[in-house]
Chain A
Amino acid sequence: MELSSTLLLAGLERTLNALLARDPAAPSRLARLAGQRILLRLEQPALALAIHFHPAGLDLLRTDDTAEEGFDAVVEVDAETLGELLGGASVERLMFQGKLAVRGRTHLLEATRDLLLDLDLDWEAELARWLGDIPAHSLAEGLRSLSRWGLRTRQEFCADVSEYVFEEARLLPGRHQLETLRDQMTEMEIATDRLEARLARLRRRLSEPGMPP
């Protein structure tokens, strides 16, 4: 148990450092963060994680050190909020909602998120190191045109399907038809309401004593 979580952390640390090493923008960001330490306390599952930044990447260590004075920032968060944070939610919003507690230098958290989320890997250079410049470039061009083709095909497919469903087969009403229908239904609803009110008034007047039949 001790070793499997250590293994997971070691794997995560290696992966992150390998990715950071491939990002041309990472060294300057890391240089600003180097020497800083963040304590990340996860509530569920209970886990205290120390993140140490150094010029070549970061160290992830589990810590049983409860003293907070050794850290530049302490972040307390649950797994759900951590997901939101990594998904790009604003730090201030989460703090105001009370889901995220940050003590110390709060900007470290934003800097860390930028470092990890704005990874822009120069993967073509990495391919070139393995395959040589020309094959890597042709492969990269091939992959790029494949991805362009994929995107275009997806857009065209969606357009074709909607055209068929709305215009040709008329399986579903279009947005304008739907809106007209809804307006007419609303008018009818109002008219029936008025009719009902009028009938009620008539009935009341008929049943009132002293009124001529």
Chain B
Amino acid sequence: MFSLEIYCPQLGMLVEFSYCISMNENLPCRIIVGCWRNRMDIIKYLKENYTDEDLKKIFESPPKNRLQRIVETIEKEKKTEE
């Protein structure tokens, strides 16, 4: 029987498909294709359910590494304090 659960390599736990399509500010996770491609036609699903703009938002910009993310958050906090 097909299940909507999958082991999430980022979180290290089982998650449902509903999580994979909503965790990214209500958009799909950027690695959803890799996780679900063997289990359903995820490309077709994304094409049919999201606009090009959505897809760009999810996939287009290169992901930031952890240090970049840390520095970005520090800078944001500095601006907030100012």
A, B in one complex: no
Interface on A for B, CB 8 Å cutoff?
Answer: none
